[in-house]
Amino acid sequence: MVSTDFSYRLWRHDGTPGELIPLLQSAQEHFGYIPRRAIRYISEVTKTPESKIYGVITFYSQFRLQPMGKNVIRLCTGTACHVANSGMLLDTLQDELGVEVGGTTEDGVFTLFSVACIGCCSLAPVMMVNDDTQGKLTPAATRKIVRKIRRQTLASERQAQATSDAETAPAAD
Amino acid sequence: MRKILVGMSTCGMSAGAKDTYARLESLLPADSPHELTITGCIGMCFREPLVEIREGSTRTIYGDVDPARAEEIFEKHIQGGQEIPEYIIYKIEDDQPTGGQELNFLAGQQRIVLRNCGLINPESIDDYEARGGYQATRKAIAEMEPTQIIEEMKTSGLRGRGGAGFPTGLKWSFAAGYDGEAKYVVCNADEGDPGAFMDRSVLEGDPHAVLEGMIICARAIGGTHGYIYCRAEYPLAIHRLELAIEAARERGYLGPDIMGSGFSFDISIKQGAGAFVCGEETALFASIEGERGMPRIRPPFPAESGVFGQPTNNNNVETYANVPWIINNGGQAYRAFGTEKSPGTKVFALAGKIAKGGLAEVPMGMTIEEILFGIGGGIKDGREFKAVQMGGPSGGCIPAALKQTPVDFENIPKTGAIMGSGGMVVMDDTTCMVDMARFFLTFTQDESCGKCTFCRIGTLRMLEILERITRGEGQPGDVEALTELGGRIKEASLCGLGQTAPNPVLSTIRYYMDEFKAHIEDHSCPAGNCPALVDFVIDPEKCNGCSACAKNCPVEAISGTLKHPFVIDTEACVQCGKCITSCSFDAIFKTGKKVAAR
């Protein structure tokens, strides 16, 4: 969609106040995180100091300055999920993935986040893997889901690798 | 012809409504006389996915419809015209509920805000107009003077549904009284309270009602532009709002010279970026302006100086969704519901240890018991009702003994909780109240924007004390320290977040002092929740003797022979919980009431 495209938004920017956060959001959508160069572009176009942009980025939990894993896990730690023992799931995920909240696994397959409430309280405890919501979880079920996705991700990577190796044409970029 | 409606809001989709819809779509031939469409949330989250078959004025709603059940319903009911009574959760004939397993859930409700949720396709403006949509806008623009609109709102007695309960008509009259280069109408859709999802359901199920409320408000106060500040965690709500705004522009309800009246107004969506404090109005304005979302000192109040320093009116989603109904039916009619000082209805999100979790809209003044037991079906698994948490991180826990309390703006604050935006999280006897206090403080501590010292540092000190208590390291004087810190934070914080952050702790101390004492003096958790204060036990029925737990135990407290149930030595156990999370069979559990002091 062109309207969310980062470069289009930058080009279109006409000095309307209040555009900083939407620009950062489209940068994150475009790059998967907010790289240094995006901050520089935004600074030039909006005439906002980079330091101020950095201040806004670090204030909001949505923005990330590091790239994310291929799959993003968002464990709900809202009230209803907490009452349904989501704390144990957090321990399980941290143990299974070997990362803390906010961290990305070494193989780049997963990034783990905790979120305040996804709003699916009747399915508690809940986690979102990318755009799919998984409900009524137990530690064992959580491990199964994570292992399955890891297998699938690695398999499709291998396949993609094999396909690109098979192609004789020089890789673009 | 039969109309088939699949409930497709976030909760329905997470329960598998997409698969159900896809199956029905594949079964339905292209030349079928029947119509398949989507609808919003009817509120019965506990029976999702839901499918409704509508034929004339008869509506049959089926629950727990997975693809297999969808196929059965397709064959028997959609094609054969034969109902399947054992799956029917609700049946309505000529607008009258006539049967179904969940008759009680909807029968006690009074749906004004949710009038269209679950009835219309939220992505179709035709559906909305067929239900009387945009008539209130026509009336407000063509037949009413702005002052009349405000008077009607005052007559209705509607109070802000975001939690504070400020009279809406009065608020509008303030904003009408100031002039500026621009005047903004803001809708706060930054529903951040964990355990609350009323606004999300309204936005996903009936977005035009919110737009209409904003248009009428703009007409009344002379608004020039509207902002809906919606949290980014609600992508479906944002998508449906975008569609609704576009459709409203096409029909001329938004944009320049609305319906030839010379009145111009448009709305844009601002996506939140993940900050709970942005639910506070001045922080929300800062965020719209592209700043760090930190609260500002009031006065000046938003009516005088809000977004970009211009006069601004800010209301919550549910408040705006009430407006079209009030304009159509009159303020007096609205007053027929609810109590003298809290007229109308309120939507509550029932969650936690409740049998029937979902959304319920009831007249104000209904008691807690009537809502939780009459509509919500009581406590899950037949356990004992302990408390209900209202108002999220700004509210408090109301103990079971006060279940006769009427739910309105007068009586709930007397219990130490607040009305809040409408989340009701139910707790049973396995919920540790000290842990709940710690939980809410973890949240507010994390979300404190850092502007006020007492909120920034005081909440951290409170959290440290609570963490110590739940670890069994509580000390005499801890409760007194919590109470004193809580009082100071409330006094010395600028915005609603800090002023209310200590509430969950203070209300828990008020009603559950015995649990604090048990943790501090006896080092025990009566609810069997706090890991450091309970015993870990292996269920021999579930354990298949794989030894995973024993391998993961850092203190070698687990022993057994392969393929036979393992045992935990509770004396050696350090309660780290690694065994529970490593078990593939969910065979290990915590058991409460570790009486012997360690």
Residue of chain B nearest A145, judged by CA positions: B584
**Cα-Cα end-to-end distance for chain A:** 23
Point out which residues pair with A104 in neighbouring strands.
Answer: A111
Kindly report which listed range (A143-147, B213-217, B291-295, B552-556) carries the lowest average pLDDT score.
B552-556
Taking an 8 Å cut-off on Cβ atoms, the answer to whether A24 and B273 are in contact is yes
Strand duo B312-316 + B345-352: pairing: unpaired
Residue A105 to residues A68, A77, A97, Cα–Cα distance (Å): 9, 21, 6
Residue B128: pLDDT band with limits 50, 70, 90: very high
Domains of chain B from N-terminus onward: 3-107 (3.40.30.10), 127-333 (3.40.50.11540), 345-428 (3.10.20.600), 433-521 (1.20.1440.230), 531-592 (3.30.70.20)
> Which residues in chain A are closer than 8 Å to B270, comparing Cβ atoms?
18, 21-22
CB contact under 8 A, B425 and A80: yes
DSSP three-state, residue B346: strand
pLDDT at position A1 is 37
Among B357, B389, B578, beta carbon nearest to A79:
B389
Across the interface, of B11, B291, B449, the residue whose CB is closest to A122 is B11
Alpha helices in B39-145 (DSSP H): 67-73, 103-107, 125-130, 135-138
Q: Which of B510, B535, B532 is nearest to B592 (CA)?
A: B535
pLDDT at B86 over 90: yes
Buried b (16+ CB within 10 A) or exposed e, B83-109: beeebbbbbbeeeebeebebebbbebb
Disruptive mutation site among B9, B105, B186, B197 for chain A (greatest number of A CBs within 10 Å): B197
The H-or-E segment that residue B210 falls in is helix B207-221
Report yes or no: B368 and B389 within 8 Å, Cβ to Cβ.
Answer: no
Of B423, B449, B585, the CB nearest to A140: B585
Q: A71-167: what fold? A: Glutaredoxin (3.40.30)
pTM: predicted TM-score of the whole model, two decimal places: 0.91
Cα B191 from Cα B183, distance rounded (Å) = 24
Q: Which of residues 151-170 of A touch B (CB under 8 A)?
A: none
Which of B46, B193, B233 has the CB atom closest to A115's CB atom? B233
- B308 vs A contacts (CB less than 8 Å): 17-18
CA nearest neighbour of A102 among A139, A137, A128, A65: A65
Asked if the model's pLDDT at residue B596 lies above 80, the reply is no
Interface contact A125, partner B, CB < 8 A: no
Q: Mean pLDDT across the stretch A63-75?
A: 93
| pLDDT tens sequence across B165-195 | 999 999 999 999 999 999 999 999 998 888 8
Residue A173, pLDDT > 70, answer no
Each residue's pLDDT tens digit, B311-370:
999 999 999 999 999 999 999 999 999 999 999 999 999 999 999 999 999 999 999 999
Largest CA distance in chain A: 56
Cis peptide preceding B540, ω within 30 of 0: no
Q: How close, in Å, is residue B430 to chain A by CA atoms?
A: 9
Looking at the complex, does the CB of residue A19 fall below 8 Å from at least one CB of chain B? yes
CB contact under 8 A, A18 and B586: no
Burial call A37-74: b when 16+ CB within 10 Å, e when fewer:
ebbeebbebbebeeeebbebbebbbbbbeeeebbbbbb
Contact B200 A119 (CB under 8 A): yes
**What residues of chain B lie within 8 A of the CB of A60, using their CB?**
273-275, 293
Please tell me if residue A92 touches chain B, with a CB cutoff of 8 Å.
yes
In percent, the amount of chain B with pLDDT more than 90 equals 80
Amino acid at residue number B563? K
CA distances, B138 to each of B234, B313, B481 (Å):
30, 21, 58
DSSP H or E segment with residue A10: helix A6-12
Test A139 with B195 for CB contact under 8 angstroms. no
Lowest mean pLDDT among A127-131, B220-224, B557-561: A127-131
Categorize the per-residue pLDDT at A119 as very low, low, confident or very high, splitting at 50, 70 and 90: confident
Q: What is the DSSP letter of B244?
A: H
Chain A residues with CB inside 8 Å of B272's CB?
A: 62
Taking CB atoms and an 8 Å limit, are B292 and A59 in contact across chains?
yes
Cβ separation A143–B584 shorter than 8 A: yes
Residues of B in contact with A146 (CB under 8 A): none
**Among candidate residues B196, B407, B225, B188, the one with its CA nearest the CA of residue B318:** B188
Alpha-carbon distance values, B57 to A67, B60, B98 (Å):
54, 10, 12
- Which contiguous run of DSSP H or E holds residue B318? helix B317-329
Residue B109 has pLDDT above 80, yes or no: yes
Compute φ and ψ for A95, nearest 5 degrees: -70, -45
Contact B405, B388 (CB under 8 A): no
| Pairwise CA distance, residues A135 & B271, whole Å | 26
Tell me, yes or no, if B45 comes closer than 8 A to chain A by beta carbon: yes
Q: Does B344 touch chain A (CB under 8 A)?
A: no
Q: Give buried/exposed letters for B15-50 (b at 16+ CB in 10 A, else e).
A: bbbeebbebbeebbeeeeebebbbbbbbbbbbbbbb
What is the average pLDDT value for chain B, to the nearest integer?
93
Helix (H, G, I), strand (E, B) or coil at B81: coil
Chain B positions in Cβ-Cβ contact with residue A121 (cut-off 8 Å):
45, 195, 197, 349, 351-352, 357, 425
SS3 of chain B: helix, strand, coil, percent, to 5: 40, 20, 40
CA distance A103 to chain B (A): 17
What is the number of H-type helices and E-type strands within chain B?
A: 24, 19
Is the model's pLDDT at A168 over the cut of 80?
Answer: no
Residue B547 contacts residue B553 (beta carbons within 8 Å)? no
Strand locations in B520-592, DSSP E?
Answer: 535-538, 558-559, 567-568, 588-591
How close does chain B come to A37, measured CA to CA in Å? 19
Q: Do the Cβ atoms of A121 and B195 come within 8 Å?
A: yes
Provide the pLDDT confidence category of residue A35 given band limits of 50, 70 and 90: very high
Which of A:28-47 have CB within 8 Å of B? none
Distances (CA, A) of B438 to A77, B393, B466, B505: 13, 11, 6, 8
Lowest model confidence (mean pLDDT) among A131-140, B26-35, B285-294, B454-463: A131-140
Is B193's Cβ below 8 Å from some Cβ in A?
A: yes
Closest residue of chain B to A23, computed from CA coordinates: B290
The pLDDT, as a whole number, for residue B265 is 98
Question: Touching check for A101 and chain B: CB below 8 Å?
Answer: no
Alpha-carbon Rg for chain A, nearest whole angstrom, is 19
Mean predicted confidence (pLDDT) in B418-430: 91
Reply yes or no: is the peptide bond before residue B49 cis, omega within 30 of 0. yes
List all residues 6 or more positions away from B86 whose beta carbon is below 8 Å from its beta carbon: none
Give the A:B interface size as CB pairs under 8 Å.
153
Cα three-residue angle B232-B234-B238, rounded to 5 degrees: 85
Mean pLDDT of B148-177: 96
Q: A72: distance to nearest CA of chain B, Å?
A: 14
Q: Which residues of A are less than 8 Å from B233 in CB distance?
A: 115, 117-119
* Alpha-carbon gap: A1 to the closest alpha carbon of chain B (Å): 13
Question: In sequence order, which residues have a C-beta less than 8 Å from that of residue B516 and are 6 or more positions away?
Answer: B434, B469, B474, B478, B479, B508, B509
A26 to chain B: which residues are within 8 Å by CB?
none
Task: Say which of A18, A88, A126 has its CB closest to residue B288.
Answer: A18
CB-based contact B180:B302 (threshold 8 Å):
no
Question: What are the extents of the domains in chain A?
Answer: 4-59, 71-167
Q: Is the pLDDT of residue B252 over 60?
A: yes
Q: How many residues does chain B have?
A: 598
Q: What's the pLDDT tens digit per position in A86-114?
A: 988 999 999 999 999 999 999 999 999 99
CA-to-CA separations, B375 to B252, B379, B410, in angstroms, rounded? 41, 11, 22
Q: B538 and chain A: CB distance < 8 Å anywhere?
A: no
Strands B58-62 and B558-559: unpaired
State the alpha helices, DSSP H only, in A47-138.
Answer: 50-59, 79-83, 86-97
Q: List the structure tokens of B98.
A: 């006539």
Burial tier of B547 (Cβ tally within 10 Å: 0-12, 13-18, 19+) = middle
Cis peptide bond upstream of B299, omega within 30? yes
pLDDT at B102 over 80: yes
In which region does residue B448 sit, left (phi positive, over 0), alpha (psi from -120 to 50) or beta (all else)? Answer: beta
Distance CA B100, CA A151 (A): 44
Contacts with B, A 44-63, CB within 8 Å: 55-56, 59-63
Cα B130 versus chain centre, distance: 28
Residues of B in contact with A61 (CB under 8 A): 273-275
